[in-house]
Structures are given as structure tokens and as C-alpha cells.
Amino acid sequence: MAGVKSATAYNGPMANESNNKWDGIIVGASLATLDADSGYGGIEDGAMAWRGGCIAWVGRRRDLPGAPEELAREVVEGDGWITPGLVDCHTHLVFAGDRAREFEMRLQGASYEDIARAGGGILSTVRAVREVDEDELLRQSLPRALALLADGATTLEIKSGYGLDFDNERKMLRVACRIGEQLGVTVRTTYLAAHALPPEFAGRADAYIDEVVAWLPRLHDEGLVDAVDAFCEGIGFDPAQTRRVFDAARALGLPVKLHADQLSDLGGAGLVAEFGGLSADHVEHTSADSVRAMAASGAVAVLLPGAFHVLRETTLPPLDAFREHGVPMALATDCNPGTSPLQSMRQAMQLACTHFRLTPEEALRGATVHAAKALGLDDRGVLRVGQRADFVQWAIRHPSELGYWLGGRLARAVYAGGQRHLRFD
């Protein structure tokens, strides 16, 4: 097949030394390595080994330097296809309650802005989060993370932003960390206190930003913050207020990302580029100037087709401009209770193919290589020696099926750091 590659050898000690076997090897499946700028990087009848949580060998089974059982402690006979583990680089999955009633209201004609201005939207989830303790918040949130893992996501970004005071923002970030510990997957935490104006600060947005800036060093000192985000929008915070949050992040050496240009163009994506940020997310209304600025800075455009779908939006992100200027396009679920109750990265890929006309290859790269870049991670997203051994075995005949099927279970086994977390026989 096109794109078949020869073996890539492990450069350490020989794997067949009795005390130096690989931890495991999977043989027989086809590998979508994504280890090139284009194409799936397919290897038919492949073999992939791992040791110490990292990939130790990738290639064709026939090129192995010995019999699999002599090389590794565990040998897995595979079929179908193996891809890198999916990376969900934008979620709000830690929350309490739900907003199914608001979904019904939107279907009856209420807009996102109407609901938010009436005290619904984000603030209704804020009330629910404030009413529960940390253990209950974990209990309600963990099944959503498990659903993402079951459909192939081995790295999750989880935001705060439904607490909007110090104690509850801290509670959310602590729960996000506990999810990673319990599931054995990577969780990157993002501080999003500048998500909405809490009721106790009604009409005093600048005063609230003072608090957001003051809380950040305390939470960072506790090791709870990997990145900083804000909602730069007419119903959120303006560019000047967002800049203050970004300045506070930069003072601590923290990377920034942004809910940018979702409902209007306030120049949010350009602001991300100015700060050398990781990503601008949503980006439906991003201008040509901001696209060029993102390209120059290396920022990733994170597409969120779940919110686009649920809100029945019609303005597409500037996809052709992103392609023209070489801006990487990542995908994420935006899993949240109000505008994207989506618990599957594979479904996000399908929605992106349908609504945004991404190719299945673009969607898979967006859910792996580019999504990892949107989190500042360069140790995953491709099947390559030295990369983290996060991978998924899929019951498919071609990688394009990942962007094709609506629903169903395609993941046969999910590995994170070389450990098999889920297997479906």
C-alpha cells in the first residue's frame, strides 16, 4: 500500500538479552504511524514494541530482529489498525449537573446569548459546582473521562471555569488531577477562571479580573495549573481584560490559550499569537490578519465541531486560510454541559469531516499530532521510537473509518504509557 515504511530499530541494547527484553510487543496489525508530513504512514503486517512506557521499535513484523516471544515479555497478536492515542486538547468535563433543559430551550428558539443573559448557561453550572464537595464532583465527572478513554483518548486537557472563586476553581483543578491519577492517563490542567462573570461581581468585571490574577500564583504554587485560558467574547471578557490574565500567566512562565473568535471577531486569535500562545480555540470568526499572525507564531487552531453542531452555527472557521498559511488544525470535543455534551473524540472527528469538510486524514492528525502540539506536548501523537507508548488498536479495515462511522464501538484496546487500560473482546 502507499506509504508503507521500513522498520525503525531501537537504538539501545539488544532487546533479546535476557535481562533487557521489551515490556511488550504487538504484531500483525497495520500501523498508522502518522510519522510524516502527509499520509497515514501506513505499515502493513506491522510490529510495535514498548519498554518503560515508551515505544522501542516500529516496523514490519518480518523485519523484527528475532522471534517476538524472544524479544518481549508480552506478545499481543493484533489485527485491524493501530493509531497513536487520541488527544482531547479542549474539555470542560469536570462539572456537576447538566443543562439538558437549555438544550430544549435552544430548540425552541432561544440563542446562546439569550440563555446566558437570563442567568443560565455557564452560571447555572457554576451554581451546581459550588453546591457539591470534591468527592462528589469527581464522582460525577469521572464517567465522562472514562467514556473518552473508551473511545481512544489517552491524553485529556481539563479546564476549570465553573467555580469562579478561589476555593471552587481549586476544587475543579484538584478533581482534574485526580482523574488522571485514577485512570492512569495524562491530564493537562488549564486555569479558566476568566470564563464568566460570577454573580457576586455583577457589573464589576475589572474587579473580578483582579481576583483571577491574584488566585493564579497560589494555584500554580500548588502544582495545579499547566496553562491559562480565558473566554474573550462579548458575553465574556474583552481583549484588555484578557491581556491582563495573559500577562499574569507570562509572569509565571505559563503558556496561554484562548476561547477566541467564537461568536464575533475581537482579535482573540491575534492576541494568542502576540503572546506566543499554544492555541486559539473555536476560531469561527477569526480574521485573515489573525490567521497570518498565528502562522508566524506557531499557534494551533483548535476546531470544536461539537459546539458548532449543537449551536447550529453557520459561520465556518477560515479553514482554507489555515491550510494556505500552514496553521495546524487540531480537534477536540469541547466536552461541556451546555454547548457540546460530546464524550467521544472519534465523534468529534466525524463531525469535523461532515461540517468542516476535513479529510479523514486531517481529522486523525487533528486528533493526534496537532492536538498534542496544542498542549505543548512533543512526546506523543505519532508512532515513533522514543515517543510515549499511547496507542489504540481499532477494529477497522482502513484509518478513514475513524471519521466515517457514527457511533458504535471501534476501539479494541487502549494503551497509555504501555499499559493496557481497556480491552474489548
Q: Residue written as cell 451546555?
A: 338
Amino acid at 23: D
- Look up residue 56 and give its amino acid: A
User: What's residue 2's pLDDT?
Assistant: 32
Residue 200 CB-density burial (10 A; 0-12 exposed, 13-18 middle, 19+ buried) = exposed
Backbone angles phi, psi at 243, to 5 degrees: -60, -40
Name the pLDDT band for 422 (thresholds 50, 70, 90): confident
Q: Which amino acid makes up residue 242?
A: T
**The pLDDT of residue 293:** 98
Q: Is the pLDDT of residue 21 over 80?
A: yes
| Cβ-based neighbour number of residue 74 at 10 Å | 16
DSSP H or E segment with residue 142 = helix 134-150
pLDDT at 224: 98
CB 76 within 8 A of CB 23: no
Q: Is there a binding annotation on residue 262? A: yes
Confidence of residue 101 (pLDDT cuts 50, 70, 90): confident
Q: pLDDT digits over 30-85, tens only?
A: 999 999 999 999 999 999 999 999 999 999 999 999 999 999 999 999 999 999 99
The residue written with cell numbers 493496557 in the block is 420
Task: Say if CB 308 and CB 319 are below 8 A apart.
Answer: no
Q: In the predicted model, what is the mean pLDDT of residues 179-186?
A: 97
Backbone angles phi, psi at 265, to 5 degrees: -100, 100
pLDDT grade for 13, boundaries at 50, 70 and 90: very low
Q: What is the pLDDT of residue 119?
A: 67
In sequence order, the 6+-apart residues with CB closer than 8 A to the CB of 419 are: 53, 184
C-alpha cell at 381: 501523537
Question: Treating both helix axes as pointing N-terminal to C-terminal, what angle do 134-150 and 166-183 enclose, rounded to 10 degrees?
Answer: 40
Give per-residue pLDDT as tens, 256-276: 999 999 999 999 999 999 999
Lowest mean pLDDT of 18-22, 275-279, 389-393, name the range. Answer: 18-22
Q: Which of 349, 355, 352 is nearest to 399 (CA)?
A: 349
Q: What percent of the chain has pLDDT over 70?
A: 94
Rounded to whole angstroms, the Cα distance separating 144 from 306 reads 15
CA atoms within 13 A on the CB side of 124: 17
Cα three-residue angle 414-343-271, rounded to 5 degrees: 105
Domains of the chain: 22-85+383-423 (2.30.40.10), 86-375 (3.20.20.140)
What confidence category does residue 425 fall into, taking pLDDT thresholds of 50, 70 and 90?
low
pLDDT tens, residue by residue, 355-385? 999 999 999 999 999 999 999 999 999 999 9
Amino acid symbol at 386: G
339 is in an annotated binding site: yes
In whole angstroms, give the CA distance from residue 396 to residue 333.
22
Q: What is the C-alpha to C-alpha distance for residues 387 and 406, in angstroms, rounded to an integer?
A: 30
pTM of the model: 0.94
Task: Flag whether pLDDT at 346 surpasses 80.
Answer: yes
- pLDDT score of 172 more than 80: yes
Ramachandran region, residue 203 (left: φ > 0; alpha: ψ -120 to 50; beta: rest): left
CA distances from 330 to 208, 348, 362, 388 (A): 31, 11, 9, 19
Query: Which residues does 314 contact at the CB level (< 8 Å), separation at least 6?
Result: none
Q: Is 325 annotated as a binding residue?
A: no
| Long-range Cβ contact pairs of 212-221 (< 8 A, separation 24 or more) | 212/245, 212/248, 213/244, 213/245, 213/248, 215/166, 215/169, 216/191, 216/245, 216/248, 216/249, 216/252, 216/254, 217/248, 217/252, 218/166, 219/166, 219/169, 219/170, 219/173, 219/191, 220/252, 220/254
**What's the pLDDT at 180?**
97
Give the angle subtended at the CA of 354 by the CAs of 353 and 358, to the nearest 5°. Answer: 25
d(C-alpha 262, C-alpha 313), whole Å: 10
Question: Residue 282 annotated as binding?
Answer: no
Given a cut of 90, whether residue 242 has pLDDT beyond it is yes
Average pLDDT of the segment spanning 223-232: 98
pLDDT digits (tens, 9 = 90+) for 394-411: 999 999 999 999 989 999
Tell whether 88 is in a known binding site.
no
Question: pLDDT grade, residue 155 (50/70/90)?
Answer: very high
Q: Is 162 annotated as a binding residue?
A: yes
pLDDT tens figures, 117-126? 776 788 899 9
How high does pLDDT run on average in the chain? 93
90 carries a ligand binding annotation: yes
Cα 231 from Cα 263, distance rounded (Å): 11
SS (H, E, C) 350-417: HHHHHHHCCCHHHHHHHCCHHHHHHCCCCCCCCCCCCCECCEEEECCCCHHHHHCCCCCCCEEEEEEC
Is 92 marked as a binding-site residue?
yes
The answer to whether the annotation marks 12 as part of a ligand binding site is no
379 annotated to bind ligand:
no
* pLDDT greater than 90 at residue 158: yes
d(CA 390, CA 54): 8
The answer to whether the CB of 336 falls within 8 A of the CB of 91 is: yes
What mean pLDDT comes out for the span 297-320?
A: 97
Give the per-residue pLDDT at 7: 32
